Structures are given as structure tokens and as C-alpha cells.
């Protein structure tokens, strides 16, 4: 029985993963929609879009509140950008008061400015009881089916959404009770409703339309939960709300994130983060009335009509002090603290500058980057082929495969390719060649010393592997530092370089070695083309 090869298994996984995630880039039109949905995201410098620099006016705030005001505005901006459906937007703080926003693919500069600078609205609204919410969703669905002709631009032009349009037309024709249109995209969850990530964009676009809003029964509102900043493509909570505003942000005096003592007798706060609230005098009166009349119901906290939290009202709460508890992480509780304090941090956003980067610039950048990459790749491949003969041919084959691996991994991790990222790919070509050159030179030294090809390869890899590991790991450390302290395109360069280094190390140490063992050294050959 042939001995099991971990090297062979690793190469098989490497090749299959590369082929799977590279295929949508090469054969998108001929693949199933679930497969073709994997795509390579292009950054602002390649795709074109809008870049806006905003300044937060903190002149009326004390120094200790200014930084929190900026953090709050960044969080609000992050959720507002979600309305554009932008993949991989860049939001970074510039200096003490400025925020830079890059929106790849967004060409409506004025709409972007207006959305980002508008005053944030913090509101408290009651969730509709479960039975009532079900009836509302059913009514919305029925209204939509009977008025589907009013939404000709419901879907974007991809195959998944075309299928949705077809189902809408079918539902409109049949009007059967089981022919759901709206509710088919909404799932039940433990706490209410959930919208799967593949349906979110379609629903979000639909809910922005005034014609659709008019189909929602009077006195009710539909809203999404906040986006997970760590995983923007995660499923989203979905809520049915009573549209009446119970309280607003002006009724909050102060909010603090606190951490409950492990010795606390209250299981809701013991060794857990929570947010404590202090109301204004007017807010205290309103809050006592709202909690007294709605014990057992959930009170949603909304910013820009996005639900950030929806705690359950446990009891009547007098005195203007309350606690918001739940399964919070420390970062989530801190985020909620910033949100609740935002009305007291009067820091408006002022656009400083904005510009549109046209698609032609992106196309020129792509063309120049590809041209440079091809020229560099061909020059390296010709050199390797002339100098190292058969071994150089193997290195060339694996080098091309490594570039495919980089693009496939960028697709897998939904990373964004930028112009510095293309530079990272070109640098990776050099790093990959360097590793092969070190290994091949060691092998040639062993062959010159009179050793057999197999002994020379074993000794060459044994001597060179440490050097390859050393050079690549030090580069990985530098890439990690760039990613940690950098932002935007710098991070893109670091990500691309990291993937490329990992791929080149695998190719040089594992892939090329396997080809040597199975082609050059099979049958204990006495000569080797190198």
C-alpha cells in the first residue's frame, strides 16, 4: 500500500481552493449564481467612486467629549454608508477632527455628501408584539403582491435578483396565499426576525422606496438591525416597530458602559458589561410612563432608523435611572454608550472636500498595473528558464499558479484590490523568485560537489529552507506592522503581500519539491536539468 502523503494532500487542497475561488473571475457568466457571487472587489483607485473629507465641529464641546463625538460620528457614518450598498468602504480618522470616507463605485457625489452630513436622529420606539408583527408582515406581503407592477427596478441586474423578479411576477399572477413575495426573504429567529445576507441588499433597496413605505400599514415601521462592523456580510436582524416615537435623544442626560461585579446577585449584570442611563427630568417622567405601560415589551433604540438595541422592559422604572442589559460584548456596550451620548455631543459634520475618481482613471490604473506585472513576470520567467533550464520551467509554472492563488484568496476573504495591492503582487513575484533562486543555487552546489540528483535536492532543501523561512517571516512581520498602523490602500498592500508570501513559501518549499520528486528524481536519475 502506497504511503500516505501529507504533502500531496496539502497540494490538492491548495490547487482546489485556488481553482474554486479563481473560477468566478474567469468564467462568471457560465457558473451557477451561488458560485459566481464570489468576486474580486476593486478599491477606489481602480474602480472609481467618491472620496469625501469631513470635519467634525467640536468647538462647543469640552476636550473630554470631543474624541467621543468623533467616534460616534464614525459609527453613524459607517451605518449610513450601508444604505449605498458599498463593498469595502474606507473610513479613517485624519488628525484630530477630520474623517476621510472612500466609497468605491458611488458616483452620486451630492447624494453621498447629503447623507453623511445630515443630523443624526436618536429615537426610542416600541417593537410590535410577535402576533401583531406577523399580521403586519402578512399585510405588507399582500399589498406588495397586488402592487408589484409599481416596482420595475426592484432588483439589481444579477441572476439571483432576476429570479426574485420572476417570482414576484408569478406571485402577482397567482395571488395564492402561499406565494409569498416579501416574507420569503425573512426568517424567524430566536428574538424575532432575520434577513439572510443574500437577501439584504434587495430588501434594503425596496424599503428605501416611498411607494413601498406606503404599503406598510399606518402606525407601523419596518427596520433593520445595525450592521456588524466586524462582519459586514453577516445576516441582519429585522424588526416591526410601532412608528410612534416614545422618547428621543434629548431626553438622555448621560450614558455609561459599566462592568458588573462577579459578586453581583443580579444575573443580568454579574461579570457582564451593561449600559447605565441617566435621564433628564422630562425624560425621567416619560420613561417611567413608557415602562409602566409596556412591561414585557421591547423598546428599540434607533439611530437613523437603524435598530442598535432592543432591550426588554422588565418593570416600571422611576427616578430616571435605568440599565440596558443583554448578551453584550465589551465593544458592543461601548458602541451603545457612544450612541446614547451622541445627542449630548453637539458636533455637526461639515464636508471639507469631495472628489469623484472616474472609471477611466481606474481603468488606466488597472491597465498600467497589469502591463507592469506582465512585463516583470515575463522577464523573470525568461531569466529562470534560461539560467535554470528544466528547474526554471517548474518555477515559472508554480509562479503563475501563485499569482492565481493570490487573486483567489482575495476573493475568498472579500478583500479589496487596490493599486498598492497590485504593487504587492509584483513584489511577491520577486519574493517567490528569490526563494527558488536560493534553493536552486544550493542544489547546484551539491551537484557540483559530485552528489546524485536526489541527494543534492535533499541537501539543497535542507540547507536553503531555513534561509527562505527567515527572509519571508521577517517580511511577514513588516506586513503585519503595515496592516496594524496603516489604513486604506496601505492595508490593501499589506494584505496582498501577506497572501503572496504565504503562497510563495508554500510553492517553493512544498509544490516545487513535489514536482522534483515526481518528475526529475523518479527512477533515481543520474542527471538533473538545472
499-513: pLDDT as tens digits: 999 999 999 899 988
Q: Using 50, 70 and 90 to split pLDDT, how confident is the model at 199?
A: confident
Starting at the edge strand found earlier in the chain, the sheet holding 220-224 runs 186-188, 193-195, 236-242, 220-224
- Please give the torsion angle defined by the CA atoms of residues 102, 108, 110 and 113, in that order, rounded to the nearest 10 degrees: -30
- Return all residues near 193 (Cβ < 8 A) that are at least 6 apart: 133, 137, 186, 187, 237, 238, 239, 240
Average pLDDT over residues 2-8: 67
329-361: pLDDT as tens digits: 887 787 778 777 765 545 667 777 777 766 655
61-82: pLDDT as tens digits: 777 777 777 777 787 787 777 7
Pick the range with the lowest mean pLDDT from 58-62, 170-174, 193-197, 438-442.
Answer: 170-174
Residue 475 clears pLDDT 60, i.e. is over it: yes
The share of the chain scoring above pLDDT 70, in percent, equals: 85
- Return all residues near 469 (Cβ < 8 A) that are at least 6 apart: 505
- Return all residues near 509 (Cβ < 8 A) that are at least 6 apart: 435, 461, 465, 468
The predicted pLDDT at position 177 comes to 42
Q: Does 179 or 259 have the greater pLDDT score?
A: 259
The DSSP annotation for 193-250 comes to: EEE-HHHHHHHHHHHT-HHHHTTSPTTEEEEEBPP-TT-TTS-EEEEEEE-S--EEGG
Starting at the edge strand found earlier in the chain, the sheet holding 122-126 runs 247-248, 122-126, 299-303, 306-309
The share of the chain scoring above pLDDT 90, in percent, equals: 20
Average pLDDT over residues 96-100: 84
Map out the domains of the chain with their CATH numbers. Answer: 6-41+358-520 (1.20.1640.10), 44-120+349-356 (3.30.70.3400), 124-331 (no CATH)
The predicted pLDDT at position 365 comes to 67
pTM: 0.59
Pick the range with the lowest mean pLDDT from 12-26, 38-52, 95-109, 176-190.
Answer: 176-190
Residue 176 clears pLDDT 50, i.e. is over it: no
Residue 221 clears pLDDT 90, i.e. is over it: yes
Q: Does 126 or 458 have the greater pLDDT score?
A: 126
388-418: pLDDT as tens digits: 888 889 899 988 889 999 999 998 887 878 8
Amino acid at each position: 500500500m502506497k504511503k500516505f502523503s501529507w504533502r500531496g494532500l496539502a497540494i490538492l487542497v491548495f490547487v482546489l481552493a485556488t481553482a474554486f475561488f479563481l473560477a468566478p473571475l474567469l468564467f462568471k457568466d457560465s457558473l451557477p449564481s451561488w458560485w459566481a457571487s464570489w468576486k474580486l472587489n476593486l478599491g477606489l483607485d481602480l474602480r472609481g467612486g467618491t472620496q469625501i473629507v469631513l470635519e467634525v465641529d467640536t468647538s462647543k464641546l469640552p476636550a473630554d467629549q470631543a474624541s467621543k463625538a468623533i467616534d460616534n460620528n464614525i459609527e453613524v457614518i459607517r451605518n449610513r454608508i450601508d444604505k449605498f450598498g458599498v463593498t469595502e468602504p474606507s473610513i479613517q480618522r485624519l488628525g484630530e477632527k477630520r474623517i476621510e470616507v472612500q466609497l468605491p463605485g458611488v458616483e452620486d457625489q451630492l447624494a453621498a455628501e447629503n447623507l453623511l452630513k445630515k443630523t443624526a436622529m436618536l429615537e426610542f420606539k416600541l417593537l410590535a408584539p410577535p402576533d401583531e408583527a406577523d399580521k403586519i408582515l402578512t399585510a405588507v406581503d399582500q399589498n406588495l403582491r397586488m402592487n408589484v407592477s409599481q416596482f420595475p427596478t426592484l432588483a439589481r441586474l444579477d441572476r439571483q435578483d432576476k429570479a426574485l423578479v420572476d417570482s414576484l411576477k408569478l406571485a402577482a399572477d397567482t395571488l395564492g396565499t402561499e406565494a409569498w413575495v416579501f416574507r420569503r426573504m425573512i426568517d424567524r429567529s430566536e428574538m424575532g426576525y432575520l434577513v439572510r445576507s443574500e437577501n439584504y441588499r434587495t430588501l434594503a433597496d425596496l424599503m428605501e422606496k416611498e411607494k413601498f413605505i406606503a404599503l406598510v400599514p399606518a402606525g407601523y415601521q419596518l427596520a433593520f438591525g445595525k450592521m456588524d462592523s466586524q462582519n459586514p456580510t453577516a445576516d441582519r436582524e429585522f424588526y416591526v416597530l410601532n412608528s410612534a416615537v416614545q422618547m428621543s435623544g434629548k431626553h438622555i442626560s448621560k450614558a455609561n458602559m459599566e462592568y458588573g461585579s462577579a459578586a453581583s446577585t443580579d444575573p443580568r449584570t454579574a461579570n457582564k458589561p451593561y449600559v447605565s442611563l441617566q435621564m433628564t427630568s422630562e425624560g425621567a417622567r416619560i420613561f417611567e410612563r413608557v415602562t409602566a405601560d409596556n412591561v414585557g415589551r421591547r423598546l428599540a433604540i434607533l439611530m437613523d432608523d437603524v435598530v442598535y438595541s432592543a432591550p426588554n422592559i422588565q418593570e416600571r422604572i422611576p427616578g430616571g435611572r435605568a440599565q440596558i442589559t443583554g448578551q453584550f460584548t465589551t465593544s458592543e456596550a461601548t458602541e451603545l454608550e457612544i450612541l446614547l451620548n451622541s445627542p449630548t455631543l453637539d458636533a455637526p459634520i461639515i464636508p471639507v472636500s469631495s472628489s469623484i475618481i472616474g472609471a477611466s482613471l481606474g481603468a488606466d490604473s488597472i491597465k498600467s498595473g497589469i502591463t507592469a506585472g506582465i512585463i516583470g513576470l515575463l522577464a523573470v520567467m525568461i531569466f529562470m528558464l534560461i539560467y535554470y533550464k528544466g528547474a526554471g520551467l517548474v518555477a515559472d509554472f508554480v509562479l503563475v499558479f501563485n499569482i492565481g492563488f493570490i487573486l483567489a484568496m482575495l476573493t475568498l476573504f472579500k478583500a479589496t484590490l487596490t493599486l498598492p495591492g497590485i504593487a504587492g503582487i509584483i513584489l511577491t513575484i520577486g519574493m517567490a523568485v528569490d526563494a527558488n533562486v536560493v534553493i536552486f543555487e544550493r542544489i547546484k552546489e551539491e551537484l557540483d560537489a559530485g552528489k546524485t540528483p536526489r541527494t543534492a535536492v535533499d541537501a539543497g532543501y535542507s540547507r536553503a529552507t531555513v534561509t527562505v523561512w527567515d527572509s519571508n517571516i521577517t517580511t511577514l512581520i513588516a506586513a503585519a506592522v503595515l496592516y496594524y498602523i496603516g489604513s486604506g490602500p496601505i492595508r490593501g498592500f499589506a494584505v496582498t503581500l501577506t497572501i503572496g508570501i504565504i503562497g510563495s513559501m508554500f510553492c517553493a518549499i512544498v509544490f516545487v519539491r513535489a514536482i522534483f520528486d515526481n518528475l526529475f528524481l523518479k527512477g533515481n536519475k543520474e542527471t538533473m536539468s538545472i
